[in-house]
Structure 1
Amino acid sequence: MRVNLKRIGSQMSNTLFVARKEFSYLLNSRLIIFIMVWYMAIFFLSFYGTAQSVNSLGISDPVQNYFVDYVYTLCYYGTLVAVVLGFSSISVETSGKALNTLLSKPLYRDTIINGKLLGAGGFMVCIYLLVTILYVSGISLVTNGSRNAVMAFVGGLSLSFLLYMLCMLFFFSISMLACLLFREQSLALFVGFLAWIVLFRLISSDIFAGSISYFFGNSQSILLLVSGMSPSTMLYFILENMDLQSVLAESGLEVFKLFLYCTIGLILSYIAFLRRDVS
Structure 2
Amino acid sequence: MTTTAIPAEAQHAPAPAAKRRPRREREGAAWVFLSPWVLGAIVLTLLPMAVSLYLSFTDYDLFNPPQWVGLRNYTQMFTEDPRYWRSVVTTLTYVVIAVPLQLALALVVALALKGMKRGKAFYRSAFYAPSLLGASMSIALVWRAIFNDGGTVDHLFGTGGWVNKPGLALLAVALLTVWQFGAPMVIFLAGLQQIPAELYEAAAVDGAGKWRQFLSVTVPMLSPVLFFNLVLQTIQAFQVFTPAFAVSAGKGGPADSTLVYTMYLYDRGFVASHMGYASAMAWVLLVVIGVVTAVLFRTSRSWVFYASEGDR
TM-score, normalised via structure 1 length: 0.32
Greater Rg by CA: 2
Question: Per residue, is there more helix in 1 or in 2?
Answer: 1
TM-score, normalised via structure 2 length: 0.29
